[in-house]
Structure 1
Amino acid sequence: MKRKLTLILLSLTFTSCFFSNYESELIKSPTGNFEIKATVNRTDKNAEDFAYVIIHLYGKENNKLTELNTGAGDGNKWTIGWTEVGDTIVLQSSDIGNKAWILNQDKPNQIKMTDELNERAEFLYSEKYK
């Protein structure tokens, strides 16, 4: 009986992880001027952002500047972070590939991936999924 109860509780615990919304911690940019966090809507299937990784950008005063739908799906592995220098957001996604956005006038503008940006994306991925 104990064994069955344990299996049921473990199943409920793992299932609840997949049926609740996700919100990452805030990640400060190297310059200290910005912070980002990622969210995923895992519960409202009727919403336009269902299962997409959304990046939220905050300024120095912790004021929300904008949000960005990355197009990355939560069904695959992904991670976000910053370049080591400057204010460039990097996304590594196993379903849509790597993307980067540079911040100009507090707004993200997607830029072409370079070898250096791809290396950073892969490093962030390796750190998250050790």
Structure 2
Amino acid sequence: MKRNLILILLTLTFTSCFFSDYESEKTQSSTGNFEIYATVNRTDKNADNYADVIIHLYDKKNEKLTELNTGAGDANKWTIGWTELGDTIVLQSSDIGNKAWILQNDQPTEIKMTDELNERAEFLKSIKYE
């Protein structure tokens, strides 16, 4: 009986992880001027952003600048981060491919992916999914 109870509790714990909204830790850019974190709406299927990876951008005063719907879905592997130098956001997505945004006037502007940006995206993926 005790064994069955433990199995039921473990099952409920693991399934609750998949049926709750997701929020990542904040990550600071190399310049220290910005921070980002990602959220995923996993609970409200009627919302326009259901299962979308949303990036939240903050300045160094911790004031929210914008939200960016990346277009990536949560059903596949994904991760976000920064380039090693500068204020460029990098997304690695097994769903839609890699993307990057440079910050201009405190707003993200999508830029063309380069070999260097793709390498950074794959490096970020390797850290998250070791």
TM-score by length of 2: 0.98
Q: Alpha carbon RMSD of aligned pairs, Å?
A: 0.6
Mapping of 1:116-127 within 5 angstroms? 116-127=116-127
Structure 2 matches for 1:36-47, cutoff 5 A? 36-47=36-47
**Mapping 1:36-75, distance limit 5 Å:** 36-75=36-75
Residue identity opposite 1:32 in structure 2: G
**Equivalence for 1:100:** 100
What is the letter of the counterpart of residue 84 of structure 1? E
Q: Give me the whole-angstrom Cα distance separating, in 2, the residues matched to 1:20 and 1:14.
A: 11
One-letter amino acid of the counterpart of residue 11, structure 1: T
User: Which structure 1 residue ranges, 4+ long, deviate > 4 Å from structure 2?
Assistant: none
Instruction: Give the TM-score normalised by the residue count of structure 1.
Output: 0.98
1:32: how far off? 0.4
Distance, in Å, in 1 between the alignment partners of 2:69 and 2:48 is: 10
Separation (CA, whole Å) in 1 of partners of 2:113 and 2:54: 19
Unaligned runs of 5+ in 1: none
2:76 & 2:4 partners in 1: Cα distance? 31
Show CA shifts across 1:6-37 (max 9, x none).
Answer: 11111100110011111111100000000000
Q: CA deviation at 1:74?
A: 0.6
Deviations 1:61-110 (A, max 9, x none): 00000000001111111100000000000000111110000000000000
In the alignment, structure 1 residue 82 sits paired with structure 2 residue 82? yes
AA matched with 2:43: T
Which 5+ residue runs of structure 2 have no aligned equivalent? none
Give the match for residue 34 of structure 1: 34
Measured in 1, the distance between the counterparts of 2:114 and 2:16 equals 38
Mapped partners of 2:104, 2:117: distance in 1? 18
Which stretch shows the higher mean deviation, 46-55 or 3-12?
A: 3-12
- Letter of the 1:83 partner, please give it: T
Q: Percent identity?
A: 80
Q: Is 1:11 matched up with 2:8?
A: no
Instruction: Output the amino acid matched with 1:57.
Output: L
In structure 2, C-alpha distance between the alignment counterparts of 1:77 and 1:17, rounded to whole Å: 16
